[in-house]
Amino acid sequence: MRFSSLSEVSLTTIRDAQRGTFPDMRMIDLAPALCDSSLQQPILEDLLCTRVGYQGPSPAHYIPRPEGSGDHILIFCTEGRGWLELDGKEWLINKNDAFLVPQGTPHVYGADPDFPWSNYWVHFRGRQGPAFANLIGGTDGPVIHLQRYEDVVTCIEQLYQYMSNVHARSELIAASGALSQLLCLIQFRMGTAEAKGRTAEEGIERSIDFMHKNLAKTLKLGDLAKIAGMSPGHYGMLFRKSRHHTPVDYFNRLKIQKSCELLKTTGGRISEIGESLGFTDPYYFSRLFKKVMGLSPRAYR
């Protein structure tokens, strides 16, 4: 076990020894009393951020929690390398990797001394915490690679901004919303990552971008698979696994989504709106609209 000679040293002692070794560190903690009272309030009782921060590279970073933590802990590595010991196994953490340690789970993590990581951390509690921990727990281990990470950083920074203000209830609710958005985004990125090789996901996203730009056209599975650079069968399987719809059904739902906008913002006839989105049969357009939206285009308008 890495750093096993330090396993009996308390976390407080280690943090005292580390003080001053993280020149780029910034962090916000929620006061324990405020945490306890917030968890008794609507909305905040479901999801509450208790700590958020960032640190630059330091080989001294080492956090042992042999009894686990009262929080669920999310770590996101932005540069360098780190490591995690969890459930008797050790995991290497690279740039753009994240992991979530569930509340009460013993663990140890730290920086690679030769190429120390920079990372964000987010601690949270609440009734939805276990559900998010289960959702984000990887199927092949705790480490999640986030190929597209810019929006994850944006979410964390927004969360930090809310937490850096006076901890009024309104600010904490806004932080709870930002935290929920962050966790939902990570599980979405996870779902697409597990359904593919990374190149395949790029192809799927390329095909979706093509759909958005060609809503007036009729596209077949083969057309979309060609844009994605895959065979139709392989493309269809990966697309359904990551987006929970077939490619053509997904494309039609984008069309219906656009038609909703046009029904509310223009005075065009329903048949004209359908035709502008590639539906030459107005009855088919109306049936599909009702299937997706639960009511007819006329009733929606």
- pLDDT tens sequence across 75-92: 999 999 999 999 888 999
Task: Check pLDDT > 70 for residue 197.
Answer: no
Residue 39 to residue 289: CA distance in whole angstroms = 42
Query: Where a domain ends, among 159, 194, 229?
Result: 194
Q: Same domain for 257 and 151?
A: no
Q: Strand pairing partners for 144?
A: 98
Task: Check pLDDT > 90 for residue 46.
Answer: yes
Judge contact between 136 and 144, C-beta under 8 A: yes
Tokens of 150: 């810019």
- DSSP symbols for 15-27: HHHHTTS-TT-EE
Between 32 and 191, whose confidence is greater?
32
Judge contact between 239 and 231, C-beta under 8 A: no
Q: Same domain for 120 and 37?
A: yes
Q: Same domain for 190 and 264?
A: no
Residue 76 to residue 272: CA distance in whole angstroms = 48
Q: Same domain for 43 and 170?
A: yes
249-260: average pLDDT? 94
CATH number of the domain enclosing 13: 2.60.120.280
Q: Same domain for 182 and 214?
A: no
Residue 203 pLDDT grade (very low, low, confident, very high; cuts 50, 70, 90): confident
Range of the domain at 63: 4-194
Q: Same domain for 27 and 158?
A: yes
- The number of domains in the chain is 2
126-144: average pLDDT? 85
Q: Same domain for 139 and 207?
A: no
Query: Where a domain ends, among 137, 170, 194?
Result: 194
175-191: average pLDDT? 90
Task: Check pLDDT > 90 for residue 23.
Answer: no
Sign of CA dihedral 282, 288, 293, 294: positive
pTM tops 0.75: no
Q: Same domain for 135 and 268?
A: no
Query: Where a domain ends, among 174, 194, 214?
Result: 194
182-199: average pLDDT? 71
pLDDT of residue 193: 53
- pLDDT tens sequence across 222-252: 999 999 888 899 899 989 988 899 999 999 9
Q: What average pLDDT is seen over the chain?
A: 87
Q: Same domain for 39 and 104?
A: yes
Q: Same domain for 248 and 181?
A: no
Q: Same domain for 154 and 259?
A: no
CATH number of the domain enclosing 202: 1.10.10.60
Q: Same domain for 214 and 181?
A: no
